[in-house]
Amino acid sequence: MIDNLSMLLKVYLTAIPLIVLIGVYCIVVTHNLIRVLIGVEILTKAVTLLLIIAGYVTNNTAFAQSLIITLIVVEAVVVATAAGVILNVFKNNNSLHVRNIKHLRG
């Protein structure tokens, strides 16, 4: 049982940093605001996985589940708000380019 658990930990603790890497690369490199949001979503997926792994290996999945449910509700509201802001950026500039949010400096 212990062996299975530690193997599982190894597998997912390898995959989660990779997903984080993909999300961060997306946020840093992209020029499109919606893609930035997609990057944030990918990072959220990685965190969801990390939470359930933490619950599973400590034999506490019920607890981890209740955290994940709350996290998903928060995530949906954040995405809706961000989408609203991005839509208004588009209405003002007729473009989704990241340069539209790079005017203020200094």
For another protein, the binding residues in 52-91 under the rule CB under 8 A are 52-91
Residue 97 interacts with another protein (CB under 8 A)? Answer: no
Residue 32's H or E segment, with its range, is: none
Is-contact 37 83, C-beta < 8 A?
Answer: yes
Contacts of 103 by beta carbon, 8 Å cutoff, 6+ apart: none
Taking the complex as a whole, how short is the minimal distance between the CB of residue 76 and another protein, in angstroms?
5
Taking the complex as a whole, how short is the minimal distance between the CB of residue 72 and another protein, in angstroms?
5
Residue 44 interacts with another protein (CB under 8 A)? Answer: yes
